[in-house]
Amino acid sequence: MKRIFLLGAVAAVLFASCGESVDSKAAKLLEQANVAYEAGEYQNAKMLIDSIRNSYPTAFAARRGALELMRTVELAEQQRNLDHCQAMLGTLTARRDSMLVDFEYEKDNRYQDEGSYIVSSQAGRLNVFNSLLRARVTESGVAYITSVYRGKRIAHSAVKVSADGSYASCERAFSSHTYRNLGINNERLDFIYGEDGGIMDFISVVSGPVTVELTGKDGKHSYTLRGEDAKAISKVVELSKILKSIAEYKEMAAEAQRHIDFVKKTRERFETDSLSVVK
């Protein structure tokens, strides 16, 4: 008797399940999607909405509701992204502005589309006769380091920095320049951050004095990097990362705003079309 009763109960459940309409099932999913949306679980809400679209193609009322809910979810999701980007931009801009008090802005309007920032202690007017590693960063966050050598010609093409038994080096300068100023030979090698053999990062994190060794076809030269120059390079690396992050968050904010505008226009067009049908 128990077995017959259990079989009957199972049959009753199956019959009830089979008897539930497609519209009812789709409506339940739509309600679950609404609950997920209210909880801020936007990805889960979109998955449930997709389930309605894929599993119940004839549940027209639920599908219309799902379409409207999807627009609402996308607006909320993109607004959350926009708010996050704007908050990060506020933080990053404040950090940038606090750092720029130590920098000078340089730009030659005749040749340059954007200017660059250089730590004041490394300004050219203060280093007319010094050999040094000079760092700068453009407004868009691209950082460079320049090996400036003044003295007897060595035609240097490689730079090595070392400290505490470790070193970093690079021979891939993207530009070089040799000239004479006030009767003194000047040589310059320019490296872009990220393609500098790790020189800038090495100087930024190493502790203790840094030895700079220049190697060229006509000789070698080495000197100890000044502490103020090491600090300047570290500041440029940090500012570069901040400026690049600002650019990235601006683009993400713009993308979120474009998405918001698109969804709003789509909703307005849908509402206008619906009113036209009613009339």
| Residue 16: per-residue pLDDT | 41
Output the six-digit token pair for 246. Answer: 């600002």
Question: Is 163 inside any structural domain?
Answer: yes
Give the tens place of pLDDT for each residue, 34-64: 999 999 999 999 999 999 999 999 999 999 9
Structure pTM? 0.81
pLDDT band at 272 (very low <50, low <70, confident <90, very high): low
CA 164, CA 271: separation in Å to the nearest integer? Answer: 70
Q: Are 221 and 148 in contact (CB under 8 A)?
A: no
Question: Is 203 inside any structural domain?
Answer: yes
Q: Is the dihedral of CA 223, 228, 229, 235 positive or negative?
A: positive
How many C-beta atoms surround the C-beta of residue 28 within 10 A? Answer: 14
Question: Is 225 inside any structural domain?
Answer: yes
pLDDT band at 14 (very low <50, low <70, confident <90, very high): very low
Average pLDDT, the chain: 89
The distance from CA 85 to its chain's CA centroid, rounded to whole angstroms, is 11
Give the tens place of pLDDT for each residue, 121-175: 999 888 888 899 999 999 999 999 999 999 999 999 999 999 989 999 999 899 9
Same domain membership, residue 158 and residue 189: yes
Same domain membership, residue 106 and residue 154: yes
Q: Are 157 and 141 in contact (CB under 8 A)?
A: no
Q: Which domain holds residue 264?
A: 20-96+250-278
Question: Is 166 inside any structural domain?
Answer: yes
CA 214, CA 154: separation in Å to the nearest integer? Answer: 8
Helices (H) and strands (E) in the chain, counts: 6, 10
> Of residues 180 and 233, which shows the higher confidence score?
233
Residue range 70-75: mean pLDDT, rounded: 95
Same domain membership, residue 87 and residue 109: no
Based on C-alpha coordinates, what's the Rg of the chain?
Answer: 32
Name the domain count of the chain: 2
Same domain membership, residue 273 and residue 186: no
Pairing type for strands 166-170 and 103-106 reads unpaired
Q: Is the pLDDT of residue 117 over 90?
A: yes
